[in-house]
Structure 1
């Protein structure tokens, strides 16, 4: 029963927390639907418009002339929040006092009062008067403050030692996997060699039998002829008459035919003979035993402030193997909008597709294995933004369902294990897992395009927020994130064209990159991962390449170049031997704007962004119900394509934009597209051509 007040306090805090910022209400405002939010949070949702939708029930709310500030105050909630904060302050002060559980182990009736610096232990009044008389003492609270860094350093050192031993065990496991794989390969090679020898023996045997059968057939004809002539003459002779005289001529001819004919010669065959070698055991082939890289023996890490190295041995660098698979489409193994990738220890590739394909699973050779929808609960599904694997081989997926944003844990077959809600932001997110601590790291961007608020949220698997990282360093549009073997957090920022690096506790270390196409520079970096040596691999999206940097951010080399906008990267390790790079193209639209044959219509349109709600002018080409959009008419490749089969074109005034129209989908859960033409005549022409293009390819009731 002692835990009840704490649980009750937790429940009260949850009820008094804003569902947008997840903090206690600040200047709480109540909507007509009776849902309450912080004034600043509602202001962020409303933006510059005169209406907003309730973030919980989605009810449309018309704001008063004063805007969000004119909404009614929730005075009851405000008072309760104030009292709750006062109670929390009182509870904190109470916790600083000696607790009844802090009893002296030598004098159980007394509680600890002081800390003996000489003996480095807490003591009670009787201890002070007895064994610790005249010792140097200090208060419990001061001792805790003084010793906290030492204990934290010991914890950190212990975790590093633990990680080295865990790494050793992982190395043993990988070596075991490699041994099993090599043993199976050797078994297969021996079996194959044996089968090949047996096949040769069988083939030789069949050839010999065929020779024998050929000779048998040839001689059998002669035997039949001679035997028949002799049988007839003998039969007539035995009857005692003179009829045998009629057979004499024929018998003389047949016997004379074979009298001068050479007798059949023996058939020359070449039977297979197995000749064992001089070794005691016959061998089918040469079996060589190769030494595998042994797992490193763990050693205690160097003390803080000192360096360490791993010896002077230099291993030959493995050649990367590029595996390309997929292609644009909605069929099995195809992608609409592949956006995230991760690889399991078993060599399975998991691809997150933001275009309603959920998660698809492939082998390292690109063979499709299975797929599953990214279900949250019931029939609610999310469009995944990113995917990561935890230490148990389960998947963490972040995404948006249209009514909320979630982090969901699945097993590798797609069964939901757990989930927790995220703040609804409308921006893409990235996810990574710190397997040492089993923490889930998720990028979060709030606010509008011109003034984003960016941070990395660190959660426990149950959704408890541990800390936030990166609020002060000026990140603008992060999405992809990874954690290296030392626990450092790396975030790619496609708007700043660089990578930010933080310690596991959130301390900023450095950033590298910078806008450009030279060595060490980046243009809209996206996916990011690290290899076993700590090198950093970045999908340099607009430079169409994958780059490698060392752990300090120094450029090392180009992994791959001349790609079709690489979006996500992952490192797969099989045993100690194989590193496989994977790249996924955002789309397969390669034709220049003026090279699409016989377009239905083309020209400039302004397009409303789905995520950032910003109008951008694009050169658009309409062809067979698909709209390809480019930066301008000289662009060599499209930056995107929208498939409008099943959509309807309708006029609409949205966001104060003139000459606007929209394309509405057959399913309200699918995205609606908004466009604006330069003038009313162009708007009508675009609507006419879109309707005609769609009408030729779909049946409209």
Structure 2
């Protein structure tokens, strides 16, 4: 083999070297390792590749290779290729030495002083005279020149035959390389075709499934809306009776607190009202039919079907037995009653007590309204009611800023309880806004002497958590994103009205800030913020006179300074109803507006209010509004 490789021309040696070259480092193999697919690479080259490519694949055919715990070193060695590389290096080195070193002469290796004279045909070696006499005397000999000529002729024949055989082997190796290349290209084309067909099929299936999903959701949504409308219709009908009975009872309690002369001389209507409802039939149960999703096993993008299931109506509690009411009850000494929602004249309302109905525009529908409060620090009175929220149970929580407290009322305006807005450590805080989280706890933002704070309270006023905020001296709003479990707090900074700028800070309940909401058009004075049931966020900017809306599909804004339909003038409080419609306290325009979820103007809910401040929607369907200047809270229904 050594003789053949030594005699091979440079072109054949180059072919040998190409076959013995690593395709990664392009050098002769060093410690060659064989992969399961049959391809060979240097051990160090495979080691470097295994550190950066996970999962490990053959660099040539991309077949995935599972390495043993020993890694690349655990792969089998290719001893044949290693030996061939070593021999090729040796032949290259020897050929270089032959060219550089002169011949040492025709001296006998056994008798260095003797010159080789003849060629022994029997032993096939050149010999000197002493060798001939000692060991080859009876052997056939010839001259060295003639033996050289005969050997050259024979060697040339073998060289030619060896070259032909070697060339056939190299052609075979080249054909294997071409076949491997063609197989890799064909495999890649097949993989690309499979992936393309898969993507097209998946895209088509996803599109059909999405369309089916949207259709099913639409069916279920329409059914749900119909059921809610039935419930709301019955609620509105019964609320009229509830308000009439409640007003009669409240009026009778006030009469009991007066002196006995006035009490006996007044004509009470309580007996008449109670008598009216004593014989009235109880409300009939509401028959609802919720939609039920039934999955299907049918192959294809069907998902299932929405069917309507009839549920038994909600039970009606039996009315209590009627208690006879004496025609002329004896005078009693009653304790002072808690603050109640009492109807008074508009003039009284302007002075800060009782109901306030506002000025209705000619020919414009005005919803039914109940107001309570008035200026002061007593129970049920306010000094700047700046924020409001309603629990699922129907309790109204009012942020009474000037009195540094939260007051709680029923949806009929009856005082329930109150608690001071203190920060942990006893520091008093003036609350700007209040919101309720998914666990029924309150988040209140406000300012103290040292800084602004966001404080979490339970419904009885116990401090659960505190978040320190930058002191700004400007109003803040708060909302809870129950879908993402985030607390949203507005912030406005700046030295003067002309350079104010704001943003919405996003916190986790543990007080860690996780983000900021901003706009390409700079926010000037964001105050109130709300989140609807789908997680869409709406922020009112009272200096840009607009509302910013953030949805999963992007951002948009609506409004603009003015008093026309769809325009706003210093919008403050903001909330959403069950349908996602946006309700805004249009402060300077003295009205409450409703827009749909895309920002399209729908209607004026009520007009001629005295500076509406904060708004919120009760789950029972009522709208609650605070009036900053009148220090009142209004409850609207049937709007």
Tell me the TM-score normalised to structure 2 length. Answer: 0.46
Tell me the TM-score normalised to structure 1 length. Answer: 0.42
Structure with higher RCO (Cα < 8 A, 6+ apart): 2
